[in-house]
């Protein structure tokens, strides 16, 4: 393969070539940077780009490899980081004008772990402002477009990350998932998106949206790549009070093992009504594939998931209203000068926050206010507890739960911006895993007959069951043989 086409390869393929010294890291970085230059004007997947530094770092990796140094599997592999993850000295905006010039004085743990693996950062990817959205249209830096069809959204909030991977601008990105923000855009863009168990990957250095739900995870073009990245970024971090202690398994070791005998549960409440026919068709075909591989499929009821969106859109605005109170023009970020402090606070927030962020702050402040706290926030927390219990009951009967990742394929840019409630329904299948704290992955399972756009198949496991989940995802991926080449021609 010509060095100019190295951007077409997965991270695992590149890693093998680099280890055998058939290509150089600098060549890989140069190929990726050239691809970004070609495609980025059409898609707007990045907020900041660091390609020149990536090429320089790649050359240093090549020198160390030539000198006989033992290097990690991800050494010399280009990556993108969602621009809500702090990168020391590199602009981190969270997709908001209020942080337009902010350069963190420290690295997020997830990025420092990847930096120590000698990965090459090529840029910070676009997102819905403060991760609030399902279409990547709420960014303060303009919308990202779907490489399968530039008139469609890529999903959100990690839309820039998903589009960058799908279009071959980078083999790996790191996104964050609060209610589906890794899995939903992965589904709409035809890539793999993995949300780890809450606490498996450190949240230190993630710009907070809803602290009890936010979780970083990988977006890739293969399940093997997702497992490879998870192996690197999952560890106990004493700087994160919610980080799970203990060793992590080797997520790669089970890939390729048969799944015969596994029990898959189809969530009755999330598998039919309101789904696009082409999505249902591909979902059913994948269930047939599971049976063909020797695993069983049965319907299970998780009654409380029907109220997942209701609970989510009380809990997350409440946490957001608290987390975003720090952006007042006093300490860092945007400041709009005014005659007094209160006027400055008001003017800064008015100019710096977008409409969706303001909407959620107002809603969150309302549900936390005196007289409404117990009726709204307290009730939502009780419902969240019931979802946890219902998931535990379901996992006592089956090994893994499955649903379509999204009710529809990618929708047109601007189609749902006027109706926030319709936008929120895009996350109906993904939100329950966040509320339960369990793990989930979306893999592409084909194209919908109506529009030829990707369909995602979601697999959810109990807490800390990533190894089992990845084993199942790898088996299905191998059998489905999804072709994402149309996006690579963007």
Q: Just list the catalytic residues.
A: 82, 157, 181
| Distance in angstroms (rounded) separating the CA atoms of residues 234 and 361 | 31
Beta bridge partners of 401: 265, 460
* Ramachandran bin of 225, using left for φ above 0, alpha for ψ from -120 to 50, beta for the remaining angles: alpha
For the chain, first and last CA: distance in Å?
A: 20
- Residues 100 and 291: their CA atoms lie apart, in Å, by 50
| CB contact at 8 A, 46 and 126 | yes
Residue with tokens 């780890």, as numbered in its chain: 196
Is residue 163 within 8 A of residue 190, CB to CB? The reply is: no
CA distance 181 to 210: 12
> Which residue shows structure tokens 């963007």?
490
Strand ranges (E), 293-414: 296-300, 400-404
Q: Which residues contact 176 (CB under 8 A, 6 or more apart)?
A: 82, 84, 85, 131, 157, 158, 182, 206, 209, 214, 215, 216, 217
Which residues contact residue 352 at a Cβ distance below 8 angstroms, ignoring those fewer than 6 apart?
96, 97, 98, 99, 327, 329, 333, 334, 336
Q: How many residues does the structure list for the chain?
A: 490
């Amino acid at each position: 393969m010509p060095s100019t086409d190295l951007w077409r390869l997965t991270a695992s393929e590149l890693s093998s070539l680099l280890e055998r010294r058939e290509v150089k890291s600098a060549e890989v970085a140069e190929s990726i940077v050239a691809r970004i230059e070609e495609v980025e004007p059409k898609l707007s997947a990045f907020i900041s780009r660091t390609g020149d530094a990536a090429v320089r770092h790649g050359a240093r990796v090549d020198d160390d490899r030539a000198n006989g140094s033992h290097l990690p599997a991800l050494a010399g592999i280009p990556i993108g980081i969602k621009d809500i993850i702090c990168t020391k000295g590199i602009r981190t905006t969270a997709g908001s004008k209020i942080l337009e010039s902010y350069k963190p004085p420290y690295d997020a743990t997830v990025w420092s772990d990847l930096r120590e693996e000698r990965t090459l950062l090529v840029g910070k990817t676009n997102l819905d402002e403060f991760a609030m959205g399902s279409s990547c249209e709420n960014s303060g830096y303009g919308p990202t477009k779907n490489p399968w069809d530039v008139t469609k959204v890529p999903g959100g909030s990690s839309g820039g990350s998903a589009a960058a991977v799908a279009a071959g601008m980078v083999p790996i990105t790191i996104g964050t998932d609060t209610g589906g923000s890794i899995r939903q855009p992965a589904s709409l863009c035809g890539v793999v998106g993995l949300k780890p168990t809450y606490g498996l990957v450190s949240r230190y250095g993630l710009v907070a949206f809803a602290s009890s739900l936010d979780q970083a995870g990988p977006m890739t073009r293969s399940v093997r790549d997702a497992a490879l990245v998870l192996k690197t970024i999952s560890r106990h971090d004493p700087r994160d009070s919610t980080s799970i202690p203990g060793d992590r398994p080797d997520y790669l070791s089970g890939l390729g093992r048969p799944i015969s005998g596994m029990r898959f549960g189809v969530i009755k409440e999330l598998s039919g009504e309101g789904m696009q026919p082409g999505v249902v068709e591909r979902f059913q075909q994948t269930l047939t594939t599971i049976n063909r591989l020797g695993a069983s499929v049965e319907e299970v009821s998780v009654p409380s998931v029907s109220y997942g969106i209701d609970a989510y859109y009380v809990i997350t605005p409440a946490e957001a209203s608290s987390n975003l109170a720090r952006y007042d023009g006093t300490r860092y970020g945007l400041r709009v000068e005014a005659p007094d402090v209160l006027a400055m606070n008001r003017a800064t927030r008015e100019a710096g926050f977008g409409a969706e962020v303001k909407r959620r702050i107002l809603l969150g402040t309302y549900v936390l206010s005196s007289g409404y706290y117990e009726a709204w926030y307290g009730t939502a927390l009780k419902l969240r507890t019931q979802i946890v219990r219902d998931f535990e009951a379901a996992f006592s009967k089956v090994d893994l739960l499955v649903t379509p990742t999204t009710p529809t394929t990618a929708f047109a840019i601007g189609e749902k911006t006027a109706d926030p409630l319709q936008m929120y329904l895009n996350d109906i299948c993904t939100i329950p895993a966040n509320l339960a704290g369990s793990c989930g992955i979306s893999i592409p399972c084909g194209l919908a007959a109506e529009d030829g756009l990707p369909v995602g198949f979601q697999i959810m496991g109990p807490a800390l069951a990533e190894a089992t989940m990845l084993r199942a995802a790898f088996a299905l991926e191998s059998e489905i043989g999804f072709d994402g080449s149309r996006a690579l021609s963007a």
